[in-house]
Amino acid sequence: MIVYLIKRLLSVAVTFFIVSLVIFLMMHAVPGGPFTEKDMPLSEAVKAALNARLGLDKPLWVQYVNYMAGVLQGNWGVPYQSPGETVISLLQQAWLPSLILGGSGVIIGAALGILIGMAAALKRNSWIDYLASTLSVLGLTIPVFVISMLLILIFAVWLNWLPASGWGKPERWILPIAAYAAIPLATYARYTRSAMLDTLNRPFVTALRAKGLSETRIIFQHVLRNSAIPMVTVFLPMFMGTATGSIFVEAMFRIPGLGSYFVSSITNRDYPLEMALVLMFTIGICFAYLISDLVYAWLNPRIRLGDDAQ
């Protein structure tokens, strides 16, 4: 297990450096730079002075080495957009709304999706099953900004039950959380339904029934646990996905989260901010998969990690 963990952590480190190198090169390969895309371009002398101050006049490999040396020491640089801040201080102000809304959306969506999926599997071919399938298809096919718009129109404009947008008071969180929850709900409803149907048809379930175990016990203690394995693997990556998925939800609901930085850092060629967002996301995704695998093994003892991995 320890050997497995060490190997995985090494692979995280390798992935981190490969991603950092690829992103760094891609950022600089895109024509233009932080000071060339303005309506009223600066003079060459001023541009040169700015580039020198930010180290952009150095060879690319020197810039990369300097940047990564800073990152390894915990210094993610100063964003060009906000020179009075550091990248970390800027992101610190924005991560909480994204975490609260995205996290709640995924947890609530997953929980509801599991319940709907279970109901659909247990009542196969009934109206519940058809309704669950319809909900899943709608959740997966309607773009999140359309869902956001519909939620605002129905609950804020027509019914006037909730505020349409903004941040601060908990009642402002309800609609964006609902918008965030749509995809996890649809995904989990589908996953749960198919996984449970698959498990229900296995011989061990028939054996359990023959032994006289109650249906409730069979479902919750055996079927659900066996069906949970594929669902666990998608949970944390989906949770991380809210970071990038937040662009539209945060824009529609005017939430001061990370979403706008994903767009503005690219359009403004704000290299430090862009690198930090991508690298932090990379670390997050790597650890999400690592934790998923560990939970996977815990749920299914037949799966062994490490040298004797099957």
Partner 1 sequence: MNLLLKLAGSVALAASLMVPALAQTVTVPGQSTTATYMDYMKTVYARAAGSDMIQIGLTAFDKDFNLTPIAAESWSQSADGLTWTFKIRPELNWSDGEPLTAEDFVFALQHAATTGYDFAWYWSFAGGIKNWDDVTAGKADVSTLGLKAVDDKTLEVTTTAPKPYLPSVVSLWYPVPKHQFDKYGEEWSTNVETIVSSGPWVVKEWVKSNNTVTLAKNPEYQGPWKPEIDEVVLDSSLGLPEVGVPAFLAGDVDMTSLNTGQVAMMRQRFADQIHTNPVFATQYISFDLEKAPFDNTDVRRAFYYAINRDELTSTVLKDIAIPAHSILPPGFPGYSENVAKQAVFDPEKAKELLAKAGYPNGEGFPSIEIWFREEGGYNGAILPPMAQYLQSQFKQILGVTMNIKVMPGKDWMEGMLARKNNIYLAPYEYDYLDPSNFYGLFYNGGRHTYHIAAYDELVKQADSASSWDERVNLYEQAEQVMIDQGLIVPLTHPVTMNVVSDKLGGDAMTPNKQGFYPNWSGYVYTHLTKN
- Name the residue among 260, 286, 281 with its Cα closest to residue 79: 260
Interface ranges with partner 1 (CB under 8 A): 38-40, 42-43, 45-47, 49-50, 80-85, 90, 93-94, 149, 152-153, 156-157, 160, 163-166, 250-252, 254-258, 260-261, 264, 267-268
Q: How far is the CB of 90 from partner 1 (least distance, A)?
A: 6
Which residue type does 92 have?
A: Q
3-state secondary structure 156-167: HHHCCCCCCCCC
Q: How far is the CB of 57 from partner 1 (least distance, A)?
A: 15
Burial class (CB in 10 A: 0-12, 13-18, 19+), 133: middle
Q: How far is the CB of 153 from partner 1 (least distance, A)?
A: 6
Q: How far is the CB of 190 from partner 1 (least distance, A)?
A: 30
- Name the residue among 231, 234, 232, 263 with its Cα closest to residue 246: 263
Distance from C-alpha of 224 to C-alpha of 222, rounded to nearest angstrom: 6
Q: In this structure, what DSSP letter does residue 219 have? A: I
Q: Which is nearer to partner 1, 5 or 46 (CB)?
A: 46
Q: How far is the CB of 252 from partner 1 (least distance, A)?
A: 6
Burial class (CB in 10 A: 0-12, 13-18, 19+), 46: exposed
Q: Which is nearer to partner 1, 239 or 253 (CB)?
A: 253
Q: Which is nearer to partner 1, 59 or 84 (CB)?
A: 84
The three-class DSSP label of residue 61 is: helix
Q: Which is nearer to partner 1, 148 or 227 (CB)?
A: 148
Q: How far is the CB of 58 from partner 1 (least distance, A)?
A: 20
Q: Which is nearer to partner 1, 102 or 184 (CB)?
A: 102
Asked if residue 78 lies in contact with residue 86, where contact means CB atoms within 8 angstroms, the answer is yes
Distance from C-alpha of 163 to C-alpha of 155, rounded to nearest angstrom: 8
Q: What is the token pair recorded at 136?
A: 């899943």
Q: Which is nearer to partner 1, 44 or 308 (CB)?
A: 44
